[in-house]
Amino acid sequence: MAMSAADIERLIRQALPDAKIDIRDLAGDGDHYAANVVSASFKGKTRVQQHQMVYNALKGGMGTELHALALQTSAPED
């Protein structure tokens, strides 16, 4: 079963409550998404660490319910 954009946003928001999240369904199939996540929690972290935080928030959904996620992360600008 595919993961919905609402499910992705809910899981990310649980892990990163302050996050500004924009999710787009790239193929219209509920299986390929692009997400832009901005969170103060990312401050001082490498891009890889930021992405790991988002993947961890998805609780193992990557590669199972969610086939592809093009991810952009950043800390808010001061």
- pLDDT value at 78 more than 60: no
pTM of the model: 0.86
Range of the domain at 64: 5-74
Average pLDDT score, the chain: 88
Which residues does 10 contact at the CB level (< 8 Å), separation at least 6? none
Q: Which residue has the higher pLDDT, 67 or 78?
A: 67
- Give φ, ψ of 40 to 5 degrees: -65, -25
Residue 12 near residue 52, CB atoms below 8 Å: no
Rg (CA), the chain: 12
What number is the average pLDDT over the span 8-29?
Answer: 93
Q: Which residue has the tokens 């509920």?
A: 30
| Segment 48-70, tens digit of pLDDT | 999 999 999 988 666 566 778 89
Number of structural domains (the chain) is 1
Which CATH number does the domain housing residue 23 bear?
3.30.300.90
Closest CA to 74 of 3, 22, 25: 22
Q: 38 - beta bridge partners?
A: 20, 74
